[in-house]
Each structure stands twice: as structure tokens, then as C-alpha cells.
Amino acid sequence: MLGTEVVAACSQRNRTVRVYDLPEFDIANEDHLRQAVEAADAIINCAAYTNVDGAQGQTELAYRVNAEAVGRLGRLARELGKWVLHISTDFVFDGGLDRPYVETDSPNPINEYGRSKLAGEVLLGDSGCTHCLVRLEWTYGLHGRNFVTKLVERAKTSQSLSVVSDQVGSPTATTEAAKAICDLLEQRAEGLFHFASAGYVSRYDMAAFVFDHLGLEVVLRPCRTSDYPAAAARPLNSRFDCRKIGPLLREPIASWQRPLEHFLRQL
């Protein structure tokens, strides 16, 4: 989902992009990875095992892709003198703070997906390569299933839906994230950054926004995360403080409503 938008954004800025993806390319395969790193001037890693609930039962696979492969990428990049931008997630936090998370807050993941992503962050740092780490949250886009598309799918078969009202974050379009990634690429930025659309909303209010703009007549009922059975625990607070990345971006970060409205018009 994100990778497709990154390719488009980089191409718009006249950058030559090589895409490596399954099934021909496996990031967990060291030979595949070395060939890719050797051929690159810079590496943007959007690859990840992202099935949050699935990671509870496929822990080994999640760690192989989200942690071990990232550490290997970092070691190869250090050996070959390449810059790496790696994508991480708000799920490295437990969601227990009563304010937005800054980059210096201590991670404390509460599910295996978050633990595997945090392990990838640590291994990348330990590799000693020159790198930039960007945490994203609540992403959606045209090139993959996400919260918005799942809502629309469910609305086609049900006239009433229950949506959690105690999870709060920033819906972030992959198009917006891709532009930010390109900005960091151009500067070969280093360090850890949070990126999300401006402003915050609950999952429930986000769903109401989606159905209102699509003109779908669906009865929405708020519920709590604890009422919704899932294999993996979810952080309730996914809010990011994005002041650190702001000065490195070409444009101010847009509020979450504008990109989401554009996405819904495309749908």
C-alpha cells in the first residue's frame, strides 16, 4: 500500500526507482537483499509483516520479516555505505500516555506485531548504518485493504456497525506519508521521526466521517476496545507529536480531514 505511493512520489520528483517485492524478492533472503542493496543509491524499506492479529500466532514469521531482515539490511547498508529509510509504527507504544507521543518516549509494545517492529528498530540502530526511521500510524490508501476500505465493505452487508470509540489517532493517507518520505530522502535525513496527519479523531468518529461523506446510511454504535474480541491488544492512544519532522518537510502537515475527503472521492 505505502510502497506503491512512494514509487509514484519519487517518480514525480524524477528519481529512478527500482521496486523489489514478493514473489520474486524476499526481504528475508540474504542473497536477494544483498543484490538489492548493492544496486541501490539509497534504500527505502516499506516491507513488513502487517497482520496484527496474525502475528500473535505467526510470531516467528513476523520477527523474521520485521526484525531479522531489517537488522540484516542495516548490516549490509553499513558494509556497502548506503543510506536506509525504514518504516515503523505507532504499535511500538502501549497507548497509555495521556498526551501525544514524541520520539524520545520509551516504547512498550503490547502485541507481537509491535514487539517485532520495535525489534527491527533496535537491530537497525545496532547495525551502525546511516539511517532514518519513520513511524507512521493509521495509514490508508488505494493500493491495499485498510480501516476505511474495510468499513465500506462491511457497510455493504450490514445496516448497523459497532466501532470502537476509545482508540484515538490520526488517519494518515499513504500519499501524504510518501511525500514526507521523499522529503527525507532528498536530505538524507538521519534519526527517528513521527509522521501523521494533523489533528486527532477516534475510530468511531472517523467512521462517522467516512459514512457521512460517502452518503451511506449506516447506524453506527460506539463500543469499547475491550468489547471487541481480537487476538492482539491495541493501543488506545496512537497520537503522534510531529513537531520534529515538520522543519524537514516541503509543506506543512495537512489535517487528517482533507486527504481523507480526497480519498473518499476517489472511492
| Residue 228 pLDDT greater than 90, yes or no | no
Whether 113 is a known active-site residue: answer: yes
Which superfamily, per CATH, for 2-146+170-199+239-254? Answer: NAD(P)-binding Rossmann-like Domain (3.40.50.720)
Concatenate the DSSP letters of all residues of 218-231 into one string. Answer: -EEEEE-GGGS--S
| Residue 159 pLDDT greater than 90, yes or no | no
Order of strands across the sheet that contains 42-45: 42-45, 83-89, 130-136, 191-194
Each residue of 191-212: pLDDT tens digit?
A: 999 999 999 999 999 999 999 9
Catalytic residue among 20, 63, 113, 204: 113
| Residue 229 pLDDT greater than 90, yes or no | no
* Residue carrying C-alpha cell 450490514: 158
Q: Where are the domains of the chain?
A: 2-146+170-199+239-254
